[in-house]
Structure 1
């Protein structure tokens, strides 16, 4: 068996692993990268990229339906599922070269396509090779979690790992899970012509501010998506027309028994860390079903083995894996004891309207006993939103009484773009005055950020005391 000695061995070629491998290699370290499946990981192949491509197809279809609001004849789109599939995989193919074996070998990375297994604390086996490294980075990501629902193994179902391979029309999609993945896929399929029912045992979009999630969910209801929240006793049976779902649902003070027949089923109930098969025990790495335990420097219980991305949590986002890669590179290459700072972690649910957040929510601040002011600004006050006829939106900002920005949430058109300055403001510990004093071009949606920041000063600016000062100055000077 061939033995390779290297500075850093990265296990997993998803977003986090690729970022570490590329950065470390280009900075002069020798790097071995091991990937047992597809380069690019979940994000490129079964997650972020294909889901956003499908959402884009649904957006075009919905634009055709809604055209009459702009004086243009509306049309019912004729959806060709094979061509939608082609569009999705064309997008993947366009991005794929950036994550390819060829590109990374061109950067000086030694890529091995095999499953990795620790032999001891400084050795990994991959295929017919062993790799001895000064440092290891586990970046194996996560995969779809399928809960033990009664009957789930007796019926066919999609997860995010295979739904983008579908090329046939879907008549009625039952979505189990009301988190971002489930809600995004619900809207995409509804806009592409399917009837859609979403079933959630807890609360829909539970991680976000309920005042904003209500706006999203009401919009989706208008598009024809049916929601069932807080359900119990969920089970499945095969049916001649597809899948039969049975469940109990609260109806006021009573509980009613419901059943739905769908042609297809999507399980979107969260993610599980990919820790099985790595033999982490041999490496002295502590882990659980939730993932590898790491400190703020992203070191595991074996200080020479780091972990990054979904396999560690607590935020399973591609952009967090990229951020964590920088922390690891500083620790390994430059011996700087860099630590993660999760005070300005953003996330976006890419529904239409989008839902974006960074920092603390109002509920977070109250739970921590922090005295805050809550600022709100409605999209109806924005001229560009009026021109686009997309006024269903709200900005909500959490600030201290002295104006320090703690958190921001936005629901509305392009919320994922509008959240950007708030990320900068929170990460740099800026005060609300910085946002209020910035010049926003007119007419743009971005004016909502300046307007809500300016509202912090409204009470003082237009107070009785200010009026007395102005009258005095106008009288005597």
Structure 2
């Protein structure tokens, strides 16, 4: 048995763990990183990167069929699904060196390719190595949640961890789960030539503003995706190579089944009890500084039981590095965290939705809107479906919701505003280049100030006096 000592032991080589390991090692800490599966974690290998690569392939196919309004004759694309998956793999391969064991060893990190588990409150064992550290960071991420639907254990099904290995295009892809993963993969596959049915037990895209979600869902339905809402999957069966999902509203039969109902935090292997670390099925129980009940142990990213986004993992890494390396107080917050669903049109959110803001702020709330169809760049591109809503209290934005082209890019301004407690004047003072979609943000700010200027009798009286008496 080999024994090591270090300043920081990071458990998990995904986005969160790699960020801590890289930063801590480069600033002089002695770091051990444990990863029992693939470096880069879910985001690189099964999540953000491959899904967006497949979405990009679908966009190219869709463009060939939607050029009529621009004077471009539509053609039926010849889609090679296997070649599209080759594109996905090339994208992964091009990014992988950034997350590789070799790179991190070059940064001075001691990388051990084994799963780790606690054997005491100060030690973790990984394979035949015991690591004693001053501090531990749990960054084990999450995996696909597979609910116990009767019959599911008897049929072949896909998750995000196996979907990107599939080489033959599904004839009819059934997706259980109408959240972001389900809807993104639904649109990618219908554009790549599959028939697609989505089954959602409640409301598709139900965590987003319902007005904006309906805009996105309407576009998905227009492309031919069947979306069945309010229908719980009650049973799954297979006959003659065809899979049938029986719901409370009937049944759907297709060639392939994708489970996309949510995520389950990867903490079962850790033996957290041995370290005195409290946890629930949602993840490690942490305080605002991301510290667990064992003060030596932190949890970040999905393992911390909160928002499950790669950018949150990176943000958490920055928070704990401040504490781990410099002994400074640092707390994580969520009010400035944006998220995006990469359908077409995209959906983006930061801060409070309109419903949340009305509940929290009542009559103090102002909501301003601006539609895409009044933006000149959106008109030139034929991307006029969409709108922005900004929730404002006492001159400061408390939330923004966008549905439309490049919503994920546009939300950045509002994330900046919320992170730095900026006023709407900061957005109004910005000069946006013309013609860009970025003008949508400035016009939303203008929609907030316009009534205060143009419908204000006092302003009109002042202007009148100036015009009469000032030479």
TM-score category, normalised to shorter length: over 0.9
User: CA-to-partner distance for each residue in 1:107-144, whole Å, 9 max, x for gaps?
Assistant: 00000001111110111111111111111111100000
| Structure 2 residue 291 is the aligned partner of structure 1 residue 302 | no
Q: What does 1:251-270 correspond to in 2, within 5 Å?
A: 258-270=250-262
- Show the counterpart of 2:328: 336
- Show the counterpart of 2:372: 379
- Show the counterpart of 2:270: 278
SS of the residue corresponding to residue 272 of structure 2 reads coil
Q: 1:233 Cα shift?
A: 5.5
Q: 1:239 Cα shift?
A: 2.3
Q: 1:337 Cα shift?
A: 1.3
User: CA-to-partner distance for each residue in 1:163-203, whole Å, 9 max, x for gaps?
Assistant: 00010021100000011000100000011010100100011
- Show the counterpart of 2:169: 169
User: CA-to-partner distance for each residue in 1:57-81, whole Å, 9 max, x for gaps?
Assistant: 0000000110222111211111111
- Show the counterpart of 1:390: 383
- Show the counterpart of 1:9: 9
Name segments (4+ residues, structure 1) moved above 4 Å. none
Q: What does 1:9-88 correspond to in 2, within 5 Å?
A: 9-88=9-88
Q: What CA distance in whole angstroms lies between the structure 1 residues aligned with 2:443 and 2:352?
A: 20
| Structure 2 residue 281 is the aligned partner of structure 1 residue 289 | yes
Q: 1:155 Cα shift?
A: 1.3
Two-structure CA RMSD over aligned residues (Å) = 1.0
- Show the counterpart of 1:254: none
| Structure 2 residue 432 is the aligned partner of structure 1 residue 440 | yes
SS of the residue corresponding to residue 305 of structure 2 reads coil
Q: What CA distance in whole angstroms lies between the structure 2 residues aligned with 1:116 and 1:462?
A: 64
- Show the counterpart of 1:228: 228
Kindly indicate whether the alpha-carbon contact (under 8 Å) linking 2:200 and 2:232 is maintained by their aligned counterparts in 1.
no
Aligned mate of 2:469, from 446, 469, 476: 476
Q: Which 5+ residue runs of structure 1 have no aligned equivalent?
A: 250-257
Q: What does 1:79-118 correspond to in 2, within 5 Å?
A: 79-118=79-118
Q: What does 1:424-435 correspond to in 2, within 5 Å?
A: 424-435=416-427
Q: What CA distance in whole angstroms lies between the structure 1 residues aligned with 2:15 and 2:9?
A: 15
Q: 1:475 Cα shift?
A: 2.5
Q: What CA distance in whole angstroms lies between the structure 2 residues aligned with 1:313 and 1:76?
A: 45
Q: What CA distance in whole angstroms lies between the structure 1 residues aligned with 2:106 and 2:294?
A: 31
Q: What does 1:157-196 correspond to in 2, within 5 Å?
A: 157-196=157-196
Equivalent pairs, count:
468
Q: What CA distance in whole angstroms lies between the structure 2 residues aligned with 1:183 and 1:196?
A: 10
SS of the residue corresponding to residue 306 of structure 1 reads strand
- Show the counterpart of 1:130: 130
SS of the residue corresponding to residue 44 of structure 1 reads helix
Kindly indicate whether the alpha-carbon contact (under 8 Å) linking 2:105 and 2:111 is maintained by their aligned counterparts in 1.
yes
- Show the counterpart of 1:197: 197
Kindly indicate whether the alpha-carbon contact (under 8 Å) linking 2:199 and 2:233 is maintained by their aligned counterparts in 1.
no
Kindly indicate whether the alpha-carbon contact (under 8 Å) linking 2:276 and 2:294 is maintained by their aligned counterparts in 1.
yes
Q: What CA distance in whole angstroms lies between the structure 1 residues aligned with 2:367 and 2:37?
A: 47
Aligned mate of 2:344, from 335, 352, 365: 352
Q: What CA distance in whole angstroms lies between the structure 2 residues aligned with 1:287 and 1:52?
A: 32
Q: What CA distance in whole angstroms lies between the structure 2 residues aligned with 1:239 and 1:194?
A: 20
Kindly indicate whether the alpha-carbon contact (under 8 Å) linking 2:285 and 2:305 is maintained by their aligned counterparts in 1.
no
- Show the counterpart of 1:367: 359
Q: What CA distance in whole angstroms lies between the structure 2 residues aligned with 1:316 and 1:464?
A: 45
- Show the counterpart of 2:219: 219
Q: What CA distance in whole angstroms lies between the structure 2 residues aligned with 1:405 and 1:431?
A: 7
Q: Which sits farther off after the overlay, 14-23 or 226-235?
A: 226-235
Q: What CA distance in whole angstroms lies between the structure 2 residues aligned with 1:399 and 1:315?
A: 23
Kindly indicate whether the alpha-carbon contact (under 8 Å) linking 2:338 and 2:350 is maintained by their aligned counterparts in 1.
yes
Q: Which sits farther off after the overlay, 427-436 or 234-243?
A: 234-243
SS of the residue corresponding to residue 429 of structure 1 reads coil
Aligned mate of 2:312, from 297, 320, 324: 320
Q: 1:361 Cα shift?
A: 0.9
Q: What CA distance in whole angstroms lies between the structure 2 residues aligned with 1:71 and 1:461?
A: 43
SS of the residue corresponding to residue 236 of structure 2 reads strand
Kindly indicate whether the alpha-carbon contact (under 8 Å) linking 1:239 and 1:261 is maintained by their aligned counterparts in 2.
no
Q: What CA distance in whole angstroms lies between the structure 2 residues aligned with 1:330 and 1:233?
A: 45
